[in-house]
Structures are given as structure tokens and as C-alpha cells.
């Protein structure tokens, strides 16, 4: 009986969860685009959130006129402090010059998926694109506004407070029982 009800619950959970788990993620919703001059040509940079705010992630797509077919390139993101910064999964190897690759949800264009610009201020994205008409470069300035939400200090203090309470309770109990533990080999 118990086994049957457990099986029933398991099947119900599967029925509810399966459509979600087998569905593809939704497509991107572009809310803003900018034109970057790239030598003689242009590159369209699109954003899923605008204006960009520091610490809030969004998706970027980059599409040169004539498409990405037969072209390769890199993008270097320069933070307001002047430091080149590797961003997101694409920048996971730590290389400042991030290899441009297709966006997982917009595979006709290059892109950076769910990436946050960690610093507030004026960022510069420097593109280098190699194509049939040679190598061209272009720069896209992006202003990142102030970080949304409460300040990081407040978030960390509030978020970690329950752990501090746990630690205090454990420490108190520990001090009480510690002395009664037998520490020899034959305890």
C-alpha cells in the first residue's frame, strides 16, 4: 500500500515536471540595439536589458553586416577602471580577448549569454573581426548604471545572518558536550 502511494506520487511528479524538463529555453527578447562602425562596415550590438546596470546580467548579441558566416573575431571588455575583464562562461578561461562565438539562443549571431558587467561606469567593448574583406576593428562604449537592489554589504550581512545564528547555537552546545568526549583510542 505504502509502496503504491509512493509510486503514485513519483508518477505525478514526473508528469508535472517532464514537460518543463523537455522544453527548450525561450528565445531572446532584444530590447535595444546599437550600431558600431567596423572599418568600412558596421556591427549591430543588441541587448536584452537596457539601460545596462552594474551587477545585473543580460544577454548580448553581436552581428556584423553580412552575417557571421566566414568571419571570426574577438571582443575585449575594458572595465571603467581600465582593466580588461573576461566575462561569463565565454571568458571562463580568463583570456582578456574573448573568442566570439554563437549565442546559444540566437545562433545566427555571436553573443555573450547571461553576463553581468561587475563595475559601474563606462565600459568599452573592443571588437576585432577577421573576414573576407580583411581585419577590421570597432569599439562599443556601454554605460553601466548603478547596481540595483540593496548594497552588497547589506545583502551579505542579511544573507549570512542565519549561518551566524547556527554557528552560535552549535558553539554553545559544543562547549557543553566537548569535555565529556573520550579522546583515547579505546573510547
Partner 1 sequence: MVPKRQVVGAWLLLTGFGSLWLGVAWDGQWHVDVGPDTFFTAPHLMFYFGSALIGLTSLAVVLPSRGAAAGPGVRVLGFRAPVAFLVAGLGAAGHLLYGAIDLWWHTIYGFDILESTPSHLSLQLAMQVQAIAVVMAFAALRHTTSGKWGLAAAGAFGVAAGSIMLDGDVFGVSLTVLGGSAVAAWTLCAIAGVTRSAWWVAALGLLFVAVHAATFFFPPLATGLYSEGIGQPLRDNALGVPLVALAMPLVFPLIAVVGAVSVVFARRRDVSPPVVMAALGAVIGLFVVVSQYLFDEVGTSPLLAALVITAFGAIAGRFGWQSAALMRRLTPREA
Q: Which of residues 116-155 bind partner 1 (CB under 8 A)?
A: 116, 148-149, 155
Determine the interface stretch with partner 1 among 14-22, 29-37, 74-82, 122-130 (rule: CB under 8 A): 14-22
Helix (H) or strand (E) holding 126: strand 121-131
Binding of residue 77 to partner 1 (CB under 8 A) = no
Using CB under 8 A, count the residues that bind partner 1.
44
Give Dmax over CA atoms of the chain in angstroms. 82
CB atoms closer than 10 angstroms to residue 119: 16
185 binds partner 1 (CB under 8 A): yes
Distance CA 16, CA 27 (A): 23
Closest by CA position to 38, among listed 70, 80, 73: 73
Q: Which residues are paired to 130 by β-bridges?
A: 72, 135
Binding mask of the shown chain, residues 156 to 175, with x at each position contacting partner 1 by CB under 8 A: x-xxx-xx------------
Question: What is 66-113 written as a DSSP string?
Answer: T-STT-EEEEEEEPTTS-B---TTTTTT--SEEEP-EETTEEEEEEEE
Restricting to residues 18-57, name those near partner 1 by CB under 8 A.
20-26, 49, 55-57
Among 105, 119, 121, 143, binds partner 1 (CB under 8 A): 105
Part in contact with partner 1 (CB under 8 A); list of ranges 31-39, 75-83, 100-108, 134-142? 100-108
68 closest CA partner among 47, 43, 48, 46: 43
Contacting range for partner 1; rule: CB under 8 A; set: 39-47, 105-113, 120-128, 138-146: 105-113
Taking the complex as a whole, the smallest distance from the CB of residue 21 to partner 1 amounts, in Å, to 5
What letter does residue 147 receive in the DSSP assignment? P
Enter the C-alpha cell of residue 181.
Answer: 568526549
Using the rule CB under 8 A, which residue among 11, 31, 92, 164 binds partner 1?
92
User: Which residues here bind partner 1, judged by CB under 8 A?
Assistant: 17, 20-26, 49, 55-58, 88-90, 92, 99, 101-102, 104-105, 107, 113-116, 148-149, 155-156, 158-160, 162-163, 177-178, 181-185, 187
Amino acid at each position: 500500500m505504502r509502496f503504491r502511494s509512493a509510486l503514485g506520487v513519483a508518477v505525478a511528479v514526473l508528469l508535472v515536471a517532464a514537460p518543463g524538463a523537455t522544453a527548450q529555453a525561450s528565445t531572446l527578447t532584444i530590447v535595444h540595439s546599437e550600431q558600431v562602425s567596423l572599418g568600412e562596415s558596421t556591427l549591430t550590438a543588441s541587448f536584452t536589458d537596457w539601460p545596462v546596470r552594474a551587477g545585473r546580467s543580460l544577454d548580448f548579441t553581436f552581428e556584423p553586416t553580412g552575417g557571421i558566416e566566414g568571419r571570426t573575431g574577438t571582443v575585449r571588455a575594458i572595465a571603467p577602471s581600465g582593466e580588461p575583464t573576461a566575462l561569463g562562461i565565454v571568458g571562463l578561461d580568463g583570456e582578456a580577448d574573448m573568442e566570439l562565438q554563437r549565442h546559444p539562443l540566437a545562433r545566427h549571431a555571436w553573443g555573450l549569454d547571461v553576463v553581468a558587467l561587475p563595475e559601474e561606469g563606462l565600459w568599452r567593448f573592443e571588437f576585432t573581426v577577421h573576414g573576407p574583406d580583411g581585419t577590421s576593428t570597432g569599439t562599443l562604449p556601454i554605460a553601466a548604471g548603478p547596481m540595483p537592489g540593496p548594497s552588497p554589504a547589506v545583502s551579505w550581512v542579511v544573507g549570512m545572518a542565519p549561518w551566524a545564528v547556527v554557528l552560535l547555537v552549535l558553539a554553545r552546545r559544543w562547549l557543553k558536550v566537548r569535555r565529556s568526549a573520550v579522546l583515547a583510542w579505546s573510547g
